[in-house]
Amino acid sequence: MSRYVYSFGDGKADGSAEMKALLGGKGAGLAEMTNLGLPVPPGFTITTEVCGLFFRDDGWPEGLQEEIDVALETLEGRLDKRLGDHDRPLLVSVRSGAAVSMPGMMDTVLNLGLNDTTAAGLAELSGDARFAWDSYRRFVTMYGDVVLGIHYTRFARAEEDFCGDRTVRDLSIDELKELVERLKQVIADAGSAFPTDPKEQLSHAIDAVFNSYNTHRARYYRKTHGIPETAGTAVSVQAMVFGNMGGDSGTGVGFTRNPKSGENGVFGEWLPNAQGEDVVAGIRTPHPISQAAKGEGISLEQALPDTYEALGDMMRRLEAHYHDMQDIEFTISQGTLYLLQTRTGKRTAMAAVRIAVDMVGEGLIDEEQALSRIQPKSLEMMLRPVISPSAKKKVIAHGLDASPGAACGRVVFHSAEVQEYFDRDEPTVLVRVETSPEDIQGMTVAQGILTARGGQTSHAAVVARGMGKPCVVGCTELHVDYSRELFYAGDTVVRKGDWITIDGGTGEVMEGQVDMLSADTEGGAMDKLLGWADARARLQVRANADTGVDAARARGLGAMGIGLCRTEHMFFQPDALRAMRRMILADDPQSRQRALQDVLPIQREMFVELFEAMDGLPVTIRLLDPPLHEFLPNRDEDVSDIAKELGIRVDALHARLEALEEANPMLGHRGVRVGITTPEVYRMQVRAIFEAAYEVHRDGKEVHPEVMIPLVAMPEELHRMREEVVQTAETVIGEYGGGPSYHIGTMIELPRAALLAGEIAKYADFFSFGTNDLTQMTYGFSRDDMGKFFPDYQRLGLLPDSPLAVFDVQGVGQLVQIGTERGRAANPRLKVGVCGEHGGDPTGIGFFHQVGLDYVSCSPYRVPVARLAAAHAALGLL
């Protein structure tokens, strides 16, 4: 028979950290801390297994009640207190705790066990009537909200009406008692009843916590974080310790290292004379724990120095024990410190890297553990934009710097509206007094989040950091008026739809759109980590770059060459575009040649930049790929302008445009087909490549050009193109009296090419899988039109992710594998890589490693992601 309940307390627990799946993160942490001899109030944990049975059978499994009764009796015995007893009343908290933490998603009930009798008893026992009735007040509201489902704003309103101009702290004891009655009336008015029997309170509270696992917001969180639905939550029932018992009491949340920067040392916030929910809910702005930290109010270090010391010691012990940064909750009750939770702390990408690297230095973990702790994708977040130092900005308010990075968007006050803006491709900043779990969906799609209240550990701050989203919280200068859809910041009025910029690294809120810069990532912890990654990776990482600037940036981020230069991007420069248009519209070979002669120097200059930036490394240059009409105008006014510019008649231009029009350009006259039918275009490009190569080579740099032919479907296409390329290359080398050695290869982006790879490989020195086209051609949908049906497919669960973003191992993967095997069998020296978007996608990288590819190539900012993913693949972590 299963065991459903595990006790902890008095330095000994039935469970341990290893039992996280069964006891949830919180339950396992409480057990482990108990075993370590740390001060944990006693209690018991009901397992995650019960959660599954609860939903399956719509009630408690047989035997649970008896186990709870026994655990409760043990708890009562340990404390010599009894639930419902007047003289020595036991109060408990009932808290959720899933195996994978879902911060702020599920419910908690505190101060359970209070009724008129026990509240009076508590007042006598503690000698503090205010504390007793204040706890009762909190309990009635929490029970009404969480267990009975009456929205907390109804209690808040009743409280406001009752207090008038005063706050709860100003009420007399009799008034507090009256307020409790008023709050009970809110419950009665809603048609519910407040149970006076604490055992009844307990069983309903346990049910409520289980039910909170299944709310819309919790399910959405699990879906977006890939947490299985069946995992369930545990419920921990624990003796209350009170942070609201005067000036030497309080409650707080602390991290063993700074969760934003990773800096070593206690970081966190506390609130004197308060209970836990006050910190998390962001109702009062908390004070810092350490004196050195920025923030308002008296630090814990200053207020209770001995407690501060003790807390620091315990936190260091926990970190050393878990070998990772911990996020803890504590309560100080009349000078006595208790730990209520420990878990691995959430952190920004930047902090994660710094902590992992520092911990290797401190001997807490080894290099491979450090690598395994960083999600490759998270490195992209480190490359988030920052406000340009030279930007003109008007700061209208300051808040707390909750999650770094700058964000700019239109002001929106409601989450549902954020989605509407998002659907129209309009960036937003979600502005709220405070966020709650209902806002998750809006937070997911907003560029940034700004709240008027709350601290570094408020809902908004924690969730935004997890998402890697810029966020400013506790911006008390903001007065948000939801009904008029505006906020005031001093004299400035900002309305819905107005642009603002926030800086989550400084806490600044700025008017309008402020200039941003890409993040500077050179040097430091990331470089060290990626050095360890390179030492273990087998796949090399190159970059897709079309300009000298991009190439230099990619090299700075560790790219070992260029895997794809899309030459067409160069043609969009005004001079090149004009010449290109003349070439496409030319009626006779002579004028076509003249136009190409004008494009040649522009191309050559751009290749020079690329070769210089990549001195010593390979540069793969793809010859023209898109259909020619992409270079021509499609709006009437542009047509007449261009006709004038080129000196041709408007109707003649229209006629030519019509002739070039295609019903399905993705499957049309593009790629090598242009090379076959208009060979002079490719000849010009190859000449530009080798002239540039000669020039850079002559200047003492090492040049390794690789010429790549796109969209090949037939071996014969490549055969002909190879001969063309060799002929032009040798001509140029002959004319200049020298030049570098070079390679000629092809993209594999059509299913037929993958299947005939053995034949194609006879004419190729390398293959580069163009997995963007290969995916669209394998699925048979167009990259451009996918948006029309993909959201429905995703909603219906047919496709969890776009196969253009996350590699389709099952289908397209087969073609990559077949293409590689057949290609290598025919040409053992064939080099094989990938240059589609999946070159920076960890799922794809895991597969490409397995299939034995030589390299991946991705956009410059994803180079660090790919380097780490390549190491993860080699370590078997993908």
Q: Binder to Mg ion among 9, 563, 770, 864 (CB under 5 A)?
A: 770
Return the one option of ligand PEP, Mg ion, none that residue 836 interacts with (CB less than 5 to 8 A, by type): ligand PEP
Scanning 757-808, the segments in alpha helix (DSSP H) are: 757-760, 771-779, 790-795
Spatial CB neighbours of 670, under 8 Å, sequence gap ≥ 6: 625, 626, 627, 710, 711
> Of 497, 506, 495, whose CA–CA distance to 470 is shortest?
506
Q: Of 337 and 748, which has the nearer Cβ to Mg ion?
A: 748
Collapse the DSSP code of 517 into the 3-class scheme (helix H, G, I; strand E, B; otherwise coil) and give the result: strand
Q: Which of 25-33, 531-539, 630-638, 767-775 is the region at the interface with ligand PEP (rule: CB under 6 A)?
A: 767-775
Min. distance of Cβ 585 from ligand PEP in angstroms?
24
Q: Tell the residue number behind the tokens 């390979």, with chain if given.
A: 618
Output the smallest distance, CB 561 to Mg ion, in A.
19
Q: Which CB, 301 or 749, lies closer to ligand PEP?
A: 749
Question: Among residues 218 and 748, whose Cβ is nearest to Mg ion?
Answer: 748
Cβ neighbour number for residue 737 with a 10 Å cutoff: 7
Smaller CB distance to ligand PEP: residue 272 or 839? 839
Strands of the 326-333 sheet, one edge to the other = 287-288, 264-272, 250-257, 326-333, 336-344
Q: Which does 600 bind (CB under 5 to 8 A by kind): Mg ion, ligand PEP, none?
A: none
Q: Does 773 bind Mg ion (CB under 5 A)?
A: yes
Out of ligand PEP, Mg ion, none, which partner does residue 118 contact, by CB within 5 to 8 A per kind? none
Would you say 319 or 773 has its CB closer to Mg ion? 773
| Residue 67 binding result from Mg ion, ligand PEP, none, given CB thresholds of 5 to 8 Å by partner type | none
The one-letter amino acid code at 380 reads E
**CB-based contact 472:400 (threshold 8 Å):** yes
Residues 684-713, buried b or exposed e (16+ Cβ, 10 A)?
A: bbbbbbbbbbbbbbeeebebbbbbbbbbbb
Residues 534, 538, 541: CA angle, nearest 5 degrees: 65
Per-residue contact string for residues 723-762; x = within reach of ligand PEP by CB under 6 A: --------------------------x-------------
Select the residue interacting with ligand PEP from 203, 513, 593, 772 (CB under 6 A).
Answer: 772
Minimal CB distance residue for Mg ion: 773
Residue 140 and residue 67: Cα distance in Å, rounded? 27
Pick what 803 binds: ligand PEP, Mg ion, none; C-beta below 5 to 8 Å, kind-dependent.
none
- Measured from the CB atom, the residue of 472 and 712 that comes closer to Mg ion is 712
Residues 6+ apart with CB under 8 A from 311: 254, 266, 289, 300, 330, 337
Concatenating the DSSP letter of every residue in 689-742 gives HHHHHHHHHHTT---EEEEEE-S--SHHHHHHHHHHHHHHHHHHHHHHT-----
95 CB neighbour count, 10 Å cutoff: 28
Residue 52, contacted partner among ligand PEP, Mg ion, none, CB below 5-8 A by kind: none
The tokens describing 664, both together, are 């399905």
Dihedral of alpha carbons 480, 484, 486, 489, sign:
negative
The one segment of 211-219, 629-637, 741-749, 759-767 that binds Mg ion by CB under 5 A = 741-749
Residue 381 partner contact from ligand PEP, Mg ion, none using kind-dependent CB cut-offs of 5 to 8 Å: none
Min dist CB 840 to ligand PEP, Å, is: 12
The item of ligand PEP, Mg ion, none sharing an interface with residue 182, based on CB under 5 to 8 Å by kind, is none
CA distance linking residue 378 with residue 352, whole number of Å: 9
Rounded distance between C-alpha atoms, residue 859 and residue 518, angstroms: 14
Site string for ligand PEP, 564-583 (x = CB under 6 A): x-x-----------------
Dig out the tokens for 847 from the structure: 């597969």
Does residue number 770 form part of the binding site for ligand PEP (CB under 6 A)? yes
Q: 24 or 836: whose CB is closer to ligand PEP? A: 836
The region of 71-79, 163-171, 183-191, 773-781 touching Mg ion under the rule CB under 5 A is 773-781
User: Segment contacting ligand PEP (CB under 6 A): 141-149, 234-242, 417-425, 768-776?
Assistant: 768-776
Among 135, 307, 771, 859, binds ligand PEP (CB under 6 A): 771
Which run of H or E residues covers position 126? helix 116-126
Taking the least distance from each CB to ligand PEP, the nearer of 489 and 760 is 760
Phi and psi at residue 356, in whole multiples of 5°? -60, -45
266 binds, among Mg ion, ligand PEP, none (CB under 5 to 8 A by kind): none
Compare residues 770 and 803 and give the one whose CB is closer to ligand PEP. Answer: 770
Residue 773 touching ligand PEP (CB under 6 A): yes
> Is position 802 an interface residue for ligand PEP (rule: CB under 6 A)?
no
CB of 813 to ligand PEP, least distance (A): 14
156 or 667: whose CB is closer to ligand PEP?
667
Q: Is 490 left (phi over 0), alpha (psi -120 to 50) or beta?
A: left
Tokens representing 428 are 């937003």
129's enclosing H/E stretch is helix 129-142
Which of Mg ion, ligand PEP, none is residue 771 near (CB under 5 to 8 Å by kind)?
Answer: ligand PEP
Q: Which is nearer to ligand PEP, 520 or 662 (CB)?
A: 662
Partnered with residue 855 across adjacent β-strands are 540, 833
Annotated catalytic residues are: 459, 835
Burial of 638: CB neighbours in 10 Å, binned 0-12, 13-18, 19+: exposed
Angle at 691 between CA 686 and CA 694, to 5 degrees: 125
CB 672, CB 709: distance < 8 Å? yes
What is the per-residue binding string for ligand PEP in 682-721, x denoting contact by CB under 6 A? ----------------------------------------
Q: In this chain, which stretch among 338-346, 572-580, 770-778, 810-818 interacts with ligand PEP, using CB under 6 A?
A: 770-778
Residue 395: DSSP 8-state: E
CA proximity to 176, closest of 116, 125, 126:
116
**Binding pattern for the stretch 749-768 against Mg ion, x by CB under 5 A and - elsewhere:** x-------------------
Stretch that binds ligand PEP, among 180-188, 275-283, 753-761, 769-777 (CB under 6 A): 769-777
Q: What residues between 819 and 838 interact with ligand PEP by CB under 6 A? A: 835-836
- The DSSP result for 518-575, as a single string, is PPP--SHHHHHHHHHHHHH--SEEEEE--SHHHHHHHHHTT--SEEEEEGGGGGGSHH
Instruction: State the minimum distance, in angstroms, from the CB of residue 424 to ligand PEP.
Output: 26
**Subset of 609-628 contacting ligand PEP (CB under 6 A):** 625
Stretch that binds ligand PEP, among 474-482, 525-533, 766-774, 822-830 (CB under 6 A): 766-774
Q: How far is the CB of 770 from ligand PEP (least distance, A)?
A: 3
**Residues near ligand PEP, by CB under 6 A:** 564, 566, 625, 749, 770-773, 835-836
**Residues near Mg ion, by CB under 5 A:** 749, 770, 773
